[in-house]
Amino acid sequence: MSDMAVFIYLCFFVVLFGATFAFMFKSMTAIYQMDKPIKRRVHPEMDEVETGTELLVFRGIEDEEDEEEEDDDGDILVVRK
């Protein structure tokens, strides 16, 4: 092989080597960020509502079949994660 072919081969090898480590570094960074808790913003109207508070919920017209199957009284508990 000529000197030019060896030089081109080595250049591509170095680029591939660098891209491999850059990809591995970026992947490991993403994995470590998965462990961090996600902060969710609370709606402004729900600021004063505590976890476990019962809320009044309006449901529109439902089918007669759905009404027969429901056993609960329609209350919904607030659960914040």
* CA gap 73, 63 in Å, rounded: 17
Q: How many domains does the chain have?
A: 1
Partnered with residue 55 across adjacent β-strands are 76
Q: Region 29-37: what's the mean pLDDT?
A: 84
Cα angle for residues 43, 44, 45 (degrees, 5° grid): 90
Q: Region 57-79: what's the mean pLDDT?
A: 61
What's residue 14's pLDDT? 98
Higher-scoring residue by pLDDT: 55, 1: 55
**Is residue 59 within 8 Å of residue 73, measured between CB atoms?**
no
- Residue 7 belongs to domain spanning: 3-77
Express each pLDDT in 41-56 by its tens digit.
888 888 888 888 888 8
